[in-house]
């Protein structure tokens, strides 16, 4: 081939959209067509003479070299894909067709930029993954972990968090927060001036870069720019408005966010918002099914499950456990005199006092009517159990203020102990109920231990 023919072929190759690359046996570019500027961001002069592998994304270098060995062995590689790092630092996905010419001692390859195709595939896969996570995740926390992994497959997401807004309580919380430098913030009102709050308030995505001017309302307080911080947040939009925000942030110049990253995060945010709504609804339905609607205490179903589990734990660990059966004396009189609304208020306040009195020692549930069950599963000695019961009796005997009226009632409390009074939860409940009835028939406002006195531990 003469010089004229070579110049003609070069000019033809330079017209191609795909990039033609020729690499010698040492792995260096000896020819690159003009399309390399569009594909890789470099001019041919900047690539010729340089090792091909230096342009490959670090995570793809090992498998790229393995494919090169296959080509040297005569294997055809018509659709090999890997990633290169463009001159501007961005990543480009390349599909190669390559052959080895032993006569010329070079590899000839055609490089096609498939970044947009890979982006579309990744986005579609992300939607499917979020949808699957919405159905398989056990709870919101598990869903957020899945979402973090999915977002991390689309863009750098080492520092990632989810903020949720409870409109009824006007509270912004941070149920999932993974950050290299900070712990999760405490819940705060929407007017706290945070960037997350501003995204929710405005319903608009926000990309802040340390090297760009900021145009934010005066109410926003921020610390952007420290350690070259980039902050990217998109709202979780629903038909009722934003319910939260997805946020990624960077503390180093190694990761810089762009408008394209914003588009990617926005693309999955609607699906994520739908998944969160579904999980929240599931949680509300489970809560309603297992809690008393008046007092929000565990109902009979949940209470019995907890007692069964606590009893099995007590058996396995050879621990003590106690059940307290609580019934309000003169509750009917309160209903008759002040009405059922006052009676409901009395039950609600009773639940509050019982919760406060038990604290971390156990749990409280409502069986029905004015009857409550207290589970003490913290391995309390008999003396401590009796002291807790007496403290509950004292607190419940203090006057209640119901719609402006001071009302005084008292409780009758029966106690059953494991293992002293039984090995099965039905037996323990029955013993505690009988002890409560004995306390009530003895005049009420007292504590009774099932079967009479039990020897101290």
Mean pLDDT score of the chain, rounded to an integer? Answer: 88
Is residue 227's pLDDT more than 60?
no
SS3 327: strand
Please choose, from the candidates 320, 309, 324, the residue with its C-alpha nearest in 3D space to the C-alpha of residue 433. Answer: 324
Q: What pairing do the DSSP bridges indicate for beta strands 446-449 and 410-418?
A: parallel
The answer to whether residues 396 and 409 touch, using CB atoms and an 8 Å cutoff, is yes
Model confidence pLDDT, tens digit, residues 283-331: 889 999 999 999 999 999 999 999 999 999 999 999 999 999 999 998 9
Residue range 118-289 in CATH 3.30.450.40: yes
Q: pLDDT value at position 208?
A: 87
One DSSP character per residue, 378-413 reads: S---HHHHHHHHHHHHHHHHSPEEETTEEE--EEEE
Is residue 418's pLDDT more than 80?
yes
Q: pLDDT value at position 209?
A: 83
Backbone CA torsion sign across 206, 211, 212, 214:
positive
Q: How far apart are the first and last CA of the chain?
A: 104
CATH architecture assigned to 300-449: 2-Layer Sandwich (3.30)
Bridge-partner residues for 376, per DSSP?
A: 322, 362
Tokens 């330079």, residue located: 14
Backbone CA torsion sign across 399, 402, 403, 405:
negative
Q: How many residues comprise the chain?
A: 457
Cite the residue boundaries of each domain of the chain with CATH code 3.30.450.40.
Answer: 118-289
pTM for the model: 0.67
Question: Selecting from 3.40.50.10490, 3.40.1160.10, 3.30.450.20, 3.40.50.300, what CATH number does the domain 6-113 have?
Answer: 3.30.450.20
Is residue 454's pLDDT more than 50?
no
E strand or H helix at 41, and its extent? none
Cite the residue boundaries of each domain of the chain with CATH code 3.30.450.20.
Answer: 6-113
Model confidence pLDDT, tens digit, residues 171-202: 999 999 999 888 999 999 988 888 899 999 99
Tokens 């919380």, residue located: 173
Cite the residue boundaries of each domain of the chain with CATH code 3.30.70.270.
Answer: 300-449
């Amino acid at each position: 081939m003469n010089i004229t023919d070579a110049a003609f072929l070069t000019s033809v190759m330079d017209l191609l959209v795909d990039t033609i690359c020729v690499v010698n046996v040492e792995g260096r570019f000896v020819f690159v067509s003009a399309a390399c500027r569009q594909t890789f961001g470099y001019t041919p002069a900047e690539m010729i003479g340089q090792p091909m592998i230096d342009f490959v994304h670090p995570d793809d270098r090992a498998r790229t070299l393995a494919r090169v060995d296959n080509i040297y062995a005569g294997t055809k590689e018509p659709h090999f894909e890997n990633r290169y790092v463009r001159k501007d630092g961005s990543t480009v996905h390349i599909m190669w067709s390559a052959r080895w010419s032993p006569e010329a001692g070079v590899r000839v390859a055609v490089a096609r930029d498939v970044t947009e195709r890979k982006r579309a595939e990744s986005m579609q896969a992300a939607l499917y993954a979020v949808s699957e996570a919405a159905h398989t995740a056990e709870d919101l926390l598990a869903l957020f972990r899945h979402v973090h992994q999915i977002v991390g497959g689309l863009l750098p997401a080492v520092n990632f968090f989810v903020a949720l807004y409870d409109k009824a309580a006007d509270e912004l919380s941070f149920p999932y927060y993974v950050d290299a430098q900070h712990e999760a913030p405490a819940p705060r009102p929407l007017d706290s001036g945070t960037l997350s709050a501003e995204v929710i308030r405005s319903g608009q995505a926000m990309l802040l870069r340390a090297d760009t001017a900021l145009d934010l309302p005066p109410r926003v307080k921020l610390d952007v720019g420290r350690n070259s911080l980039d902050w990217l947040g998109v709202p979780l939009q629903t038909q009722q408005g934003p319910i939260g925000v997805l946020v990624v942030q960077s503390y180093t110049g190694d990761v810089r966010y762009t408008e394209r990253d914003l588009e990617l995060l926005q693309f999955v945010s609607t699906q994520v918002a739908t998944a969160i709504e579904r999980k929240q609804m599931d949680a509300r339905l489970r809560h309603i099914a297992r809690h008393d609607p008046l007092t929000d205490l565990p109902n009979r179903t949940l209470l019995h499950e907890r007692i069964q589990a606590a009893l099995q734990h007590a058996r396995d660990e050879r621990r003590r456990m106690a059940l307290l059966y609580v019934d309000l004396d003169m509750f009917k009189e309160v209903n008759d005199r002040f009405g059922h609304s006052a009676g409901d208020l009395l039950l609600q306040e009773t639940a509050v006092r019982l919760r406060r009195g038990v604290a971390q020692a156990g749990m409280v549930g409502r069986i029905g009517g004015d009857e409550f069950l207290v589970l003490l599963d913290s391995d309390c000695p008999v003396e401590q159990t009796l002291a807790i019961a007496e403290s509950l009796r004292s607190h419940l005997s203090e006057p209640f203020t119901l719609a402006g009226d001071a009302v005084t009632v008292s409780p009758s409390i029966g106690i059953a102990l494991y293992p002293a009074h039984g090995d099965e939860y039905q037996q323990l409940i029955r013993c505690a109920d009988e002890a409560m009835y004995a306390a009530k028939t003895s005049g009420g406002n007292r504590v009774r231990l099932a079967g009479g006195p039990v020897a101290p531990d």
